[in-house]
A = this chain, B = another copy of it.
Amino acid sequence: MKGRTDMVSQDRAERTRRRLLQAAATEFSLNGYGDTSLQRICGSAGVTMGALTFHYPTKMALATAVHTHGVALTRAAVRDAAAHGEAEGGEDSPRLLRIIGITHALARLLQEEPAVRAAGRLSRDRTLDQEHWHDSWLPYVHELLEQAHEEAELRAEVDPKVMAVLTRFLVSGLEATAQAGGICPECLGHLGAAWDLVLSGVTDGGHAR
């Protein structure tokens, strides 16, 4: 009567894991590691504690899984954003545009994917001895900046390292915003406008300063 029982059962484990991961990501991103109880996760995932401990023997294992997932999503998104950037291949400062695209992608991700928010938060709170979430996208930006520097897409006196720091700061701001009420579309507009400022300068005098 249940001709697909085998697949169902295999799928069931997978689905259980997914629901767990999703619920855990949401809770971790909202309340942090210490303030999140496994029981609440179970409740909101519709799974019993027994099932949870079967798939993730310890709380930290679950957090690590969430973190890993968030990092994976981030890497994929960054890769996509970069590819997309190459595809449309504008000739003026394509590297910078790609970086901007990456930050927009991260903003979208932070808004839409609890796992990514959770990865960021768990990294900030130093709960895990895992790779920091920033390491899943910053190196890419670094590389792009180096290339942009070599090919003179930036003004000569612009230090790529400083640009990287600035980018990291912007993303930190995005993280904070995402956690506090979410990134509204208006915020995305602000991000774009901020980048415009950075690109062309704030003061009228130009480089005079």
Contact = CB atoms under 8 A, between A and B. Distances in A.
A197 B93 contact: no
Contacts of A158: 197, 202
Contacts of A13: none
Interface in A66-97: 92-93, 96
A31 interface: yes
A161 B172 CA distance: 18
B193 A159 contact: yes
A124 B198 contact: no
A155 B203 contact: yes
A61 interface: no
Given A169-B173, A175-B172, A154 B31 contact: no
A133 B159 CA distance: 31
Contact of A206 (B166, B179, B206): B206
Interface in A131-172: 132, 152-155, 158-159, 161-163, 165-166, 168-172
Interface size class of A (residues with CB under 8 A): 35 or more
Main secondary structure of the interface of A (DSSP, over half): helix
Scoring A153, A162, A169, A174 by chain B CB atoms within 10 A of each residue's CB, the highest score goes to A169
Interface in A6-44: 31-35
Interface in A163-209: 163, 165-166, 168-176, 179-180, 187, 190-191, 193-194, 196-209
A203 B99 CA distance: 14
Nearest to A159: B193
26 contacts: A31-B125, A32-B125, A35-B125, A124-B180, A126-B180, A132-B180, A153-B203, A154-B202, A155-B201, A155-B202, A155-B204, A163-B197, A165-B173, A165-B187, A165-B191, A166-B198, A168-B173, A169-B169, A169-B174, A169-B176, A169-B194, A170-B173, A197-B198, A198-B202, A200-B201, A200-B208
